[in-house]
């Protein structure tokens, strides 16, 4: 055998095919790997479907899914066909290659490399652009559903006289189609040009003709389609002027036509449309003329026209016609903007009245009596007292309250409400079972009177404590769904849940209809992948009846079942028919209302409470139309979500109801017990008040000058100097009303000034016939604004002494909400003041009151009102002593009264010792001390009343010394 070269020689080892067993194993492993990847992709889809089915909104999932799939398929296929067809056509129109130039010789190697794979390249390029276009189009599902289901507004814009639905629903879809057409034309043009160049239809450096006739015709048609689309764009731009946003002196966010738009841009767009149509025709004509001379000239003229007619001419009109007399020229368009904006935001029916703001003086006794009935003054500030609820009613470390509590009404009484929700961080020992199986829910609603506190300044709780074995409440107290409940829980199976610990540990098992069943191993595997927790797949704690709860905050659930709604930032709880229900306000919005100025919801709804205490509206949408069209409820026990139609006239809601039939219940299905707790939403109110700072003015000349513009004042009770004062719920009477109405209120100051400009209140009681009625009092005299009142209050000697004493006791001052109430032609300001020790919680200690420039700072609201209206002589300095007094102060000559006061002092001291106990506050001892304190004060009050009665029966001059003591004892009682 001849030598075949260097290297080792010897017998060859023949490598045979793998055995059948090995091939079967490899094939099996490959199939399993593919199935595993498919299941990973499928898991998210499957868990979403299971969740929507569990809340009975599967139609939302399927409608959204099929709409996205349909858009993806249609527009992906159209883009793939458009680009693929033009690539195929360019290849088909390639010239014969003969006597190739150097340029073509250089390209020949690329042609030879592609030749075996031409079909695959065509399919791959078409598929890629199709997938990209389809994915982009699927994101337009909301635009398509609005267009396909659009309902008429019954209102026409003042310029084009088209129904508002054309701008809100139709125009966005037309613009999407136009942008898709542009993308298809440009991509087809680029692809066709590259193919023509590759196969010699276009030449760059070769001598002679730069393009073959076939390439010229093909590319000209594509350019003609592009220019024709530009003509359509010019035509749609005419309508776009009605919803165009621009800078304008009259307002920060102007929307709609101005003088230059109507008299320069509008005719310019029409002229450019005609020029573009002619230019497109010239490009199409190259199919016969085979020359680009005329199309290029036409295209150049179109570009020049766009510069001169579309840019230079409007600038000339603005400079030489509008600016010399802008106010007169713009007045008709300002009027249209005012009317449209007021209608779009629901403020067109706002009632504006002049109001002096300074009382006439008059009978101080009558003023004092009028102050009693003017409002139910909510001294318990839900923004301050959360730590008080936390320390008095938390009961266990694994419970918590929100940083800002809620205000509701029970039995006609303004009530502060908080839920004892689960605090996962407070669990004694963290492990997977504890975090997700044992500690699963909160327990109980805690309520307190909003208008009063107990003798120590703590809330007067009307619902408190954990139940004992025989003290079950009349409602379902377990809270599986809440604002603070963000982790998933697995309930209902063999693993028991901790219910609460009162008199011994109590367990429970979830029996609600909510949650997704985990008995199915496929479901368990899907959730193990979705949550990245393999123990869900094999844990013995999961068995028959086990369910997984997630998406547990009220806003998350409502957003998921109604993704077309914008959600209010403040869900609030109420006990309704034996269940805790979260009430969520939801809005329908659009940014296509012609002439209405736009606002950004997230910015507009921010105030001094949105920094870590309260969230703003869920989406940061920029809108120019908003309606509180839906009231939603979420059951705190089983998570049931119900959507109720609220605004029955809203065309946007009607459109979405057509798109998602059966998801929104009729307004008639709202029960009377639920209606009692529905209220006017804060975020809508804040949007409206922001608009009313400018749009309370209806005269275009005055609007343009800005002479009567207002601003929302900064919150004077916070150290953040640029944070807007939050609105307040308050039962009060507006001038002319005979009874108190549950209202949402706010104040305004003139732009750039601190004095009071206006007061705004809206009837917030959903059961009232005047619900949603906006009333504005325009203050006509120079009246102190909130910040000025706060400054006067802070400058009082009593306040300085109070603050100094607090600092000496290692405590701090906290100002509560400053309430503003119209009273007999003037404005009454009331501000609760809290004291808070380093390791204690806020307690109401003083009340500041101001009326007609007179400011007082006293122990109680009654004393402060008396002082402001000169009904009693207030003490020279406020006392910070405990309610029972101490040995350094004069005692009572009545032995019963003195004994009761001594007992009160002892109970107070015991309470303070309990708060400062080693190892943390002893809340059981503190609660007992508070009960003893209250009982002692009650005894003192009864004994003093008996002594007073005896004193009244004695003849004049027959005092036994009790008369001299009476003011002191009365002062003690009132201080308590």
Q: Which stretches of 93-117 are DSSP H helices?
A: 102-114
Strand partners, 843: 835
Q: Which of 169, 302, 248 is nearest to 588 (CA)?
A: 169
* Strand partners of residue 173: none
Q: Which residues contact 204 (CB under 8 A, 6 or more apart)?
A: 103, 197, 210
- In DSSP notation, 196-212 reads HHHTTSB-SSSSS-SB-
Q: What is the pLDDT of residues 639-654, one digit of tens each?
A: 999 999 999 999 999 9
Higher per-residue confidence, 758 vs 503: 758
Region class of 943: left (phi > 0), else alpha (psi between -120 and 50), else beta: alpha
User: Tens digit of pLDDT for each residue in 82-110?
Assistant: 999 999 999 898 887 654 566 666 667 77
Task: Report the alpha-carbon distance of residue 416 to residue 942 in Å, rounded.
Answer: 29
Distance, in Å, from the CA atom of 739 to the CA atom of 496, rounded to the nearest integer, reads 52
User: In angstroms, rounded to a whole number, what is the distance separating the alpha carbons of residues 975 and 968?
Assistant: 10
The pLDDT value recorded for residue 436 is: 94
The partner residues of 829 in beta bridges, in order of sequence, read 850
What is the value of pTM for the model shown?
Answer: 0.83
* pLDDT tens profile 144-187: 999 999 999 999 999 999 999 999 999 999 999 999 999 999 99
Question: In terms of C-beta density within 10 A (0-12 exposed, 13-18 middle, 19 or more buried), how is residue 622 classed?
Answer: middle
Nearest of 725, 699, 691, 589 to residue 650 by alpha carbon: 589
pLDDT for 962 equals 35
pLDDT-derived band at 880 (thresholds 50, 70, 90) equals very low
- pLDDT-derived band at 764, boundaries 50, 70, 90: very high
> In terms of pLDDT, which residue wins out, 274 or 837?
274
The 10s digit of each residue's pLDDT in 456-510 is 888 999 988 887 655 567 889 999 999 999 899 999 988 999 988 766 678 899 9
Interatomic CA distance for residues 460 and 229, integer angstroms: 70
The pLDDT-based confidence of 217 (bands split at 50, 70, 90) is confident
Q: What are 21-52's pLDDT values in tens digits?
A: 777 888 888 778 877 777 777 888 899 999 99
Lowest mean pLDDT among 234-238, 712-716, 784-788, 930-934: 930-934
Q: What is the pLDDT of residue 216?
A: 86
Q: Give the residue carrying structure tokens 């403040």.
A: 570
Q: Could you tell me the pLDDT band of residue 887, with boundaries at 50, 70 and 90?
A: very low
- Please name which of 195, 223, 198, 197 lies closest in space to residue 211, comparing C-alpha atoms: 197
Q: What is the pLDDT of residues 667-696, one digit of tens each?
A: 999 999 999 999 999 999 999 999 999 999
Q: What's the CA gap between 465 and 444, in Å, rounded?
A: 8
Whose CA is closest to 782, among 355, 358, 354, 360?
Answer: 358
DSSP bridge pairs for 583? 633
Q: Which helix (H) or strand (E) holds 710?
A: strand 710-711
CA gap 511, 637 in Å, rounded: 9
Cα distances (angstroms) measured from residue 738 to each of 28, 462, 734: 83, 28, 8
Q: Which of 442-446, 541-545, 701-705, 802-806 has the lowest mean pLDDT?
A: 802-806
């Amino acid at each position: 055998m001849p030598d075949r070269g260097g290297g080792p020689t010897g017998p060859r080892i023949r490598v045979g095919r793998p055995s059948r067993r090995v091939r079967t194993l490899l094939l099996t492993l490959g199939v399993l790997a593919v199935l595993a990847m498919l299941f990973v992709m499928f898991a998210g889809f499957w868990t979403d479907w299971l969740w929507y089915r569990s809340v009975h909104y599967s139609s939302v999932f399927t409608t959204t899914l099929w709409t996205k799939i349909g858009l993806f398929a249609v527009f992906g296929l159209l883009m793939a066909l458009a680009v693929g067809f033009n690539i195929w056509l360019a290849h088909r129109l390639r010239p014969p290659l003969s006597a190739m130039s150097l340029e073509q010789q250089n390209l020949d190697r690329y042609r030879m490399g592609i030749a075996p794979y031409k079909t695959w390249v065509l399919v791959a390029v078409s598929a890629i652009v199709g997938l990209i276009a389809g994915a982009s189009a699927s994101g337009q599902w909301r635009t398509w559903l609005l267009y396909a289901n659009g309902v008429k507004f019954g209102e026409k814009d003042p310029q084009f006289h088209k129904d508002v639905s054309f701008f809100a629903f139709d125009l966005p879809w037309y613009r999407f189609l136009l942008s898709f057409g542009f993308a298809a034309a440009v991509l087809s043009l680029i692809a066709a040009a590259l193919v023509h160049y590759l196969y010699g239809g276009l030449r760059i450096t070769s001598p002679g003709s730069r393009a073959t006739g076939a390439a010229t015709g093909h590319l000209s048609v594509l350019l003609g389609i592009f220019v024709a689309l530009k003509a359509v764009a010019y035509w749609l731009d005419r309508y776009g002027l009605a919803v165009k946003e621009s800078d304008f002196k009259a307002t920060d966010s102007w929307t709609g036509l101005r003088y230059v738009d109507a008299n320069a841009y509008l005719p310019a767009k029409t002229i450019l449309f005609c020029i573009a149509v002619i230019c497109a025709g010239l490009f199409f004509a190259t199919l016969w003329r085979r020359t680009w001379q005329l199309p290029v000239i036409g295209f150049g003229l179109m570009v020049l026209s766009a510069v001169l007619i579309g840019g230079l001419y409007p600038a000339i009109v603005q400079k030489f016609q509008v600016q010399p007399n802008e106010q007169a020229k713009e007045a008709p368009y300002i009027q249209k903007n005012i009317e449209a904006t007021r209608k779009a935001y629901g403020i067109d029916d706002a009632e504006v009245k002049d109001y002096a703001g300074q009382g006439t003086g008059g009978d101080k006794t009558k003023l004092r009596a009028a102050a009693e009935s003017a409002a139910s003054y909510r001294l318990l500030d839900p923004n301050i007292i959360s730590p008080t609820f936390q320390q008095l009613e938390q009961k266990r470390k694994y419970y918590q309250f929100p940083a800002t509590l809620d205000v509701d009404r029970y039995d006609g009484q303004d009530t502060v409400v908080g839920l004892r929700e689960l605090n996962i961080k407070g669990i004694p020992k963290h492990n997977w079972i504890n975090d997700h199986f044992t500690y699963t829910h909160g327990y109980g609603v805690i309520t307190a009177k909003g208008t009063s506190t107990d003798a120590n300044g703590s809330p007067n709780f009307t619902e408190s404590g954990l139940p004992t074995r025989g003290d079950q409440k009349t409602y379902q107290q377990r809270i599986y769904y809440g604002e603070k409940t963000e982790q998933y829980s697995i309930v209902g199976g063999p693993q028991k849940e901790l219910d609460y610990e009162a008199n011994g540990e109590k367990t429970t098992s979830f029996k609600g209809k909510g949650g997704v069943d985990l008995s199915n191993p496929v479901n368990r595997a899907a959730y193990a992948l979705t949550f990245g927790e393999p123990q869900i797949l094999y844990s013995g704690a999961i068995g028959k009846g086990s369910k997984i709860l997630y998406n547990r905050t009220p806003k998350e659930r409502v957003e998921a079942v109604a993704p077309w709604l914008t959600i209010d930032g403040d869900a609030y709880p109420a006990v309704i028919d034996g269940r805790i229900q979260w009430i969520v306000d939801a809005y329908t919005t659009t940014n296509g209302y012609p002439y209405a100025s736009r606002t950004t919801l997230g910015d507009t709804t921010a105030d001094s409470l949105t920094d870590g205490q309260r969230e703003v509206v869920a989406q940061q949408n920029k809108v120019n139309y908003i309606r509180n069209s839906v009231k939603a409820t979420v059951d705190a026990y089983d998570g049931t979500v119900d959507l109720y139609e609220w605004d029955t006239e809203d065309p946007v809601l009607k459109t979405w109801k057509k798109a998602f039939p059966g998801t929104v219940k009729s307004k008639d299905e709202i029960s009377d017990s639920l209606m009692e707790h529905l209220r006017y939403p804060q975020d809508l109110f804040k949007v409206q008040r922001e608009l009313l700072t400018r749009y309370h003015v209806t005269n275009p000349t005055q609007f343009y000058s800005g002479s009567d513009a207002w601003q929302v004042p900064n919150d004077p009770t916070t150290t953040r100097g640029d944070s807007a004062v939050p609105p307040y719920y308050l039962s009060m009477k507006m001038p002319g009303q005979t009874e108190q109405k549950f209202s949402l209120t706010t104040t305004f100051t003139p732009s750039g000034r601190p004095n009071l400009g206006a007061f705004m209140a809206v009837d917030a009681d959903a059961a009232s016939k005047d619900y949603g009625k906006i009333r504005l009092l325009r203050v006509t005299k120079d009246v102190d604004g909130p910040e000025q009142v706060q400054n006067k209050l802070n400058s009082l000697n009593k306040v300085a002494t109070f603050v100094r004493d607090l600092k000496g006791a290692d405590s701090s001052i906290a100002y509560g909400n400053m309430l503003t109430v119209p009273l007999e032609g003037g404005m009454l300001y009331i501000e609760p003041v809290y004291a808070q020790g380093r390791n204690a919680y806020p307690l109401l200690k003083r009340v500041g009151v101001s009326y007609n420039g007179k400011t007082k700072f006293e122990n109680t609201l009654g004393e402060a009102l008396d002082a402001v209206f000169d009904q009693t002589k207030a003490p020279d300095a406020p006392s910070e002593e405990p309610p029972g007094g101490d040995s350094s102060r004069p005692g009572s000559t009545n032995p019963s009264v003195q004994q009761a006061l001594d007992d009160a002092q002892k109970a107070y001291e015991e309470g303070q010792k309990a708060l400062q106990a080693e190892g943390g506050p002893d809340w059981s001892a503190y609660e007992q001390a508070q009960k003893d304190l209250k009982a002692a004060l009650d005894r003192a009050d009864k004994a003093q009343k008996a002594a007073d009665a005896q004193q009244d029966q004695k003849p004049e001059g027959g005092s036994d010394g009790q008369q001299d003591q009476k003011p002191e004892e009365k002062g003690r009682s009132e201080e308590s």
